[in-house]
A and B are shown apart, each in its own frame.
Chain A
């Protein structure tokens, strides 16, 4: 047995022994599913909390982080194995969210020791929840156009401006922000800095945004003369764009992966909805056109999972291919197709917003369908992803955007 196989056996045994039975089969085990923690968390499920505590104690909320920062001191491959073993039985990771999936890795790479020591353990223990301040009203796809001002005043930066699409800012404790520290830089990618702010700092206001689905994790976050100490600058002043791109790269791969649920589950879900709404308990679904659509979905799903596996295998073998760049495009397309077909089979029973005459699971499905429309926009729209693949992978010349 190889070392990794032995580790898999160990991870499997630990996860299966310790994960509370009530959580089995409840989660796709993605980086953004489960217990997000933070001081504003009102989670009461004792099993989720116990699972969090066990994970924290083992260092397996952040398996690949150094032990001194609350991690497990393991390799990325071992971390992958732990997550696979959680996914295999459908339990959530003990702690989920932006801090673990996105901000932590960036701080490990670009932060200084004091910043790591101050912020990482709270993330690993699920005590401090982070959100991301990236987009602005005039900086969406053109992110480098961001204008949130950060002016140096003695030992502090003074922040003025607005962030938008700050997911869960209302439930978070801290925000990592892209700010404009040099408005006179010759290129808009220059003069950007990454600054951290406690959301309780005077001058910060958070307002929730409702989406077409009726709710959302998104907020607008306003900064009005917000003063933060200069030691909350990450990396070098005016060179934050490099960090921003690293976080975006991370975001793309985690979105691609987080969409990947259990292989076959999208097909199963929509087949089950078709059976329910067409009243066909088992056997062949009589409509051949619908079967064709379901099979198209199932085939795309399987091709996507096999591609994720292939990317992972080639990364593990030390020669990552360029295919990683397409996972967000394909994963979000798969998600939208799944919901579209799931809505089609429900017919008018999928039209309910709330109230009598509709099943709860259909009402929820309809909201989820509406929410899925954002998936090809958030985290870099599909068009932006295609620009990136076109330039970096296909080597096509850059043109006017």
Chain B
């Protein structure tokens, strides 16, 4: 903490109510088992548009979107209240792609025209906007953008290939990074129905929907630039910090649910004539997870609060939240499987879905080790 007065880490009465409503709604309407259903039916959408629209009507998609773009004009903190609950059931709806990546990019870098054109539709549930930034070599060096923007008569021609673009198969707009000089890249808004864009769905372990977005000489104009020309790196970094915090809120929820399911199982499952939860070997491991959950909740709330109230502290606290939540979720998921025993590794049981999501989120928006290196830099060592 920079000063001795910590930020407020409590939910106000409205946020508590929102959390409770979202918890009940999502538990009933969006249980984690849907991941298996979408997968096994080769569903073309991969999530429920109907549910997405209902959440739009409840106001959840526009919580953080300003009133002038038909949102509720609340804070990122409020959005995180809903994200936490969506994480509990591993919802495959486009929270990360549209509410985190797309919306944050538009809010931070979008022109008035871009915001007017897209944010009301996002708040209303009808518009999906994602960001494509990963490429085939990104896991080796995420700063190396191969996709290029070649200057043309009307503006630019984009060529390259983005991979694992979340909800790329259904998005109305895809914001992509493309190099505009030797050392810099720019973010461009692409309409996927344009000629030269090819979308190929990908299948991942975690039930989120992803696609390869291939760009072959796709024409865009200066009006399609999001943020500054050659300013893609700093904008994307700021977006990823916010997205990392939102994802951390989802990871917190997912860890809480995996843990709650595990505690319930420890109380029910009997071996040697007693509930296995009476064994100290398991009790102490359960307490270790509980302890990590308590710490994770604190850092996620602090980071979410910083996004609304302490811009200078966002980078540091985003790294803290993402690193902590990643390790906690992975640990909670591994312990959940181990304590469930054999049933835990079957496809039939939901608990296995959690470790798949844990691995995916661990690798998204920076691994913990990368965030620790950044934390070290930010602290001057």
Contact = CB atoms under 8 A, between A and B. Distances in A.
Contacts of B266: 396
Interface string A366-396: 0000000000000000010011011001111
A288 interface: yes
Interface in B1-54: 1, 4, 6, 8-10
B263 A394 contact: yes
Contacts of A288: 373
B286 A390 contact: yes
Contact of B1 (A294, A300, A302): A302
Contact of B297 (A262, A310, A330): A310
Interface stretch (A184-192, A231-239, A263-271): A263-271
A306 interface: yes
A306 B9 contact: yes
B375 A397 contact: no
Interface stretch (B87-95, B270-278, B342-350): B270-278
B372 A399 contact: no
Interface stretch (B71-79, B158-166, B287-295): B287-295
B283 A292 contact: no
Nearest to A385: B287
A351 interface: no
B284 A307 contact: no
Contacts of A398: 278
Interface stretch (B107-115, B142-150, B298-306): B298-306
Contacts of B373: 288, 291-292, 295
B170 to A, nearest CB: 37
B295 A298 contact: no
Contacts of B375: 295, 298-299
A295 B6 contact: no
Nearest to B375: A295
A305 B6 contact: yes
A386 B1 contact: no
Nearest to B316: A302
A123 to B, nearest CB: 27
Interface residues of A, number: 52
A285 interface: yes
Nearest to B299: A303
Interface of A is mostly: helix
Contacts of B215: none
Contacts of B277: 396-397
B369 interface: yes
Contacts of B6: 305-306, 309-310, 313
B139 interface: no
Interface in A286-332: 288, 291-292, 294-296, 298-300, 302-307, 309-310, 313-314, 317, 323, 326, 329-330
B284 A303 contact: no
A143 interface: no
Interface string B345-381: 0000000000000000000000001001101110111
A88 interface: yes
A306 B294 contact: no
Contacts of A348: none
A394 B10 contact: no
A84 interface: yes
B377 A284 contact: yes
B372 A299 contact: yes
B248 interface: no
Contact of A390 (B4, B9, B284): B284
A394 B278 contact: no
B4 A263 contact: yes
B25 to A, nearest CB: 24
Interface in A76-91: 84, 87-88
Given A291-B373, A299-B323, A303-B324, A323 B294 contact: yes
Given A299-B324, A305-B1, A396 B379 contact: no
B362 to A, nearest CB: 16
A245 interface: no
Contact of B381 (A263, A284, A302, A326): A284
Contacts of B376: 284-285, 291-292, 294-295, 298
B286 A263 contact: no
A401 B295 contact: no
B287 A306 contact: no
Interface string A66-100: 00000000000000000010011000000000000
A397 B302 contact: no
B320 interface: yes
Contacts of B296: 303
B287 A399 contact: no
B290 A304 contact: no
Given A314-B10, A383-B284, A285 B381 contact: yes
Between A274, A300, A306, the greatest number of chain B beta carbons within 10 A of the residue's beta carbon is seen for A306
26 contacts: A267-B379, A282-B380, A291-B372, A291-B376, A292-B369, A294-B381, A295-B372, A298-B379, A306-B299, A306-B301, A306-B302, A307-B294, A309-B1, A310-B297, A313-B10, A326-B287, A329-B287, A329-B291, A389-B287, A394-B287, A396-B267, A397-B278, A399-B278, A399-B280, A400-B280, A401-B280
Interface of A: 84, 87-88, 262-264, 267, 271, 274-275, 282-285, 288, 291-292, 294-296, 298-300, 302-307, 309-310, 313-314, 317, 323, 326, 329-330, 383, 386-387, 389-390, 393-401
Interface of B: 1, 4, 6, 8-10, 263, 266-267, 274-275, 277-280, 283-284, 286-288, 290-291, 294-299, 301-302, 320, 323-324, 369, 372-373, 375-377, 379-381
